[in-house]
Amino acid sequence: MSRKLIDWLEHRTGVETAIKSFLYEDIPASSGWHQVFGSIALFLFMTQVFTGIMLAFNYAPTPGEAYNSLKYIITEITGGRMIRGLHHWGSSMIIVIVVLHMCQVFLYGSYKKPREATWMVGVVLLLLTLAYGLTGYLLPWDNRAYWGTVVTTQIAASAPVMGPYLTRLLGGEGSIGVVTFARFYALHVLLLPPATMILIALHVYLVRKHGVAPAVNDTAPKKRFFPEQVFKDTVATFVAFVILFTLAIAAKVPLERLADPTDTSYIPRPEWYFLFLFQTLKFFSGPLEVVGSIVLPTLAIIGLFAIPFIDRAALTQVRKRTVAIGVLVLAALGWGGLTAAAIATTPNTVTVSVVDQEGPEGWQQLSAEELAGIGYYRKEDCASCHSPGNKLGADLAGTTTKKTAAWMIAHFKQPQQNMPGTSMPAIQLSNSQMNALAAFLLKWNPKNARELEAAPAFAVEGAMVYQGQKCGICHQVNGVGQKMGPSLNGVAGRRSREWMEEHFRDPQKMSPGSPMPPYKFSSRDMDRIVSYLLELPPG
């Protein structure tokens, strides 16, 4: 029965002949372990496609919702964290393997006639692999992704002549937003995969057409691709998967806070494979910046395409290819040195993974009034005098004894009366704003100082809007406020961003009979207050 089925398929599709032709192709006797990188790269690409599809089943490709959906995947979906880990670390591994594959081909001179086209297709595949990393960087829509993409679009904008067109193409005009996200997503999911599949098919076809490049003086009889080379490729692929699986389980991929365009203090850093370029840019400034961002990378790409036409000498043994060995060593030293320098000069900032928190962050546990107080503390620039080591004022977070709220408010209004001789000016805030500032200072202590100082700007500003509109008269946040309306803790699990925005504009439409008045917020205030409310933990 099985033979009849195979014969039926063979007669109608030729699949048996095709498989035998593929497996039993003759390859040079010198083929071996050094040629397994191509098979590993193909396997990793298939892994990326599979894990990407799995993520897409629960991923919402719009800013804001993308972040929430990824958070849902990691925390709620069975195996979601592992799938994301496989996809994230797979993107790094495939770049390493593709580069190693090209280094092996370059070292052995396998790009020489008649394999020039095979090499050039490989260069394009390398560029596409890097493009995956570049376009996928934005998709989590956290702070790290947002500000890294800001740098990317700024580099594209610096290109001579083409800069404005590239910026428009990437949707990076003005700011990073919905258009930028949509185009990066389309590139990452809709354009790059089919282009990669076509080029992989072309690459494999060219390899089969011209055969595997033999070593010099390889006079031994040829061998079949199956079973010896297939076994080596399978073992190498299995080892690569074990490494990838271990990374996905042991090395957690952080998801930082929701992208905050107002957080200009955030220091963006690219993925490790772009750190060498990031460090190179530091050697150029002003008008010369385009040299590091555009000219040198372009020349490097042109050089890769030109290698088969520059090196037209006869094929020699690897140990005699001193120039090729020297170029690889210099390239490795340059790349490694620049990457190490970029890592060494990275500021010591703490990366906070939101999904790895055992509970809500410190600022999420504050009342809206206390969180708004952080905004007034920042607005008045109190940290310029009241910070550790500053002798102009006391360390307000580190002090063990706290004044009463009434004392602080009186001090805000007339500093000279409470502390004669102080250089502190009177604070120009309303009474309710001074109350909020005092409430924050009473809550601030050495244990939570670092967490509260890191409160994201969107949440702080959202709490300030909430307080300014006196929303606490009807609603509760973290147990503070009145119960005329529903508690706003955990609202993200009940309502979408779009619903909340429309409810603010027209409460009667969304909740007939609601006593809540409509609010004509500016687009910024609407974004701030909705973003803040969506981050409130369940009550």
| 296 and 404 housed in the same domain | no
| 305 and 416 housed in the same domain | no
| 144 and 207 housed in the same domain | yes
Q: What is the DSSP letter of 174?
A: S
**In a domain? residue 340:** no
Do 52 and 223 touch, CB atoms closer than 8 A?
no
| 239 and 378 housed in the same domain | no
Report the CATH number at residue 503.
1.10.760
3-state secondary structure of 476: strand
Amino acid of residue 202: L
**In a domain? residue 208:** yes
| 311 and 382 housed in the same domain | no
Say how far apart CA 461 and CA 469 lie, in whole Å. Answer: 12
Please work out, in degrees rounded to the nearest 5, the angle formed at the alpha carbon of residue 204 by the alpha carbons of 274 and 301.
30
Contacts 24+ apart (CB under 8 A), 402-408: 402/441, 402/442, 405/435, 405/438, 405/439, 405/442, 408/434, 408/437, 408/438, 408/441
Do 209 and 21 touch, CB atoms closer than 8 A?
no
Q: Would you tell me the crossing angle of helices 143-157 and 163-170 to the nearest 10 degrees?
A: 150
**In a domain? residue 328:** no
**In a domain? residue 522:** yes
Closest CA to 61 of 217, 187, 216: 187
| 311 and 394 housed in the same domain | no
Cα-based distances in Å from 364 to 30, 70, 191, 354, 530: 63, 20, 40, 12, 14
Instruction: Report residue 446: phi and psi, to 5°.
Output: -60, -30
Do 172 and 180 touch, CB atoms closer than 8 A?
yes
**In a domain? residue 145:** yes
Closest CA to 324 of 301, 339, 308, 336: 308
List, in sequence order, every residue forming a beta bridge with 217; answer none if it has no partner: none
Closest CA to 463 of 495, 493, 439: 439
Report the CATH number at residue 66.
1.20.810.10
How many domains does one find in the chain?
A: 2
| 298 and 414 housed in the same domain | no
Instruction: Report residue 430: phi and psi, to 5°.
Output: -75, 170
What beta strand segments (E) does 35-86 contain?
A: none
Say how far apart CA 488 and CA 486 lie, in whole Å. Answer: 6
Residue-range definition of the domain harbouring residue 100: 35-258+282-316
- Confidence (pLDDT) at 310: 93
Q: Give pLDDT < 70 ranges for the chain.
A: 174, 265, 348-359, 388-391, 400
Say how far apart CA 151 and CA 156 lie, in whole Å. Answer: 9
| 140 and 83 housed in the same domain | yes
| 222 and 124 housed in the same domain | yes
**In a domain? residue 342:** no
| 90 and 171 housed in the same domain | yes
Bridge-based pairing state of the strands 26-27 and 223-224: antiparallel
| 101 and 227 housed in the same domain | yes
| 233 and 103 housed in the same domain | yes
**In a domain? residue 350:** no
List, in sequence order, every residue forming a beta bridge with 258; answer none if it has no partner: 142
Closest CA to 373 of 509, 250, 469, 464: 464
Do 453 and 441 touch, CB atoms closer than 8 A?
no
Say how far apart CA 258 and CA 143 lie, in whole Å. Answer: 6
Neighbours of 428 (CB within 10 A): 10
Say how far apart CA 518 and CA 392 lie, in whole Å. Answer: 45
Element holding 477 (H helix, E strand): strand 476-477
Residue pointed to by tokens 């003005």:
174
**In a domain? residue 88:** yes
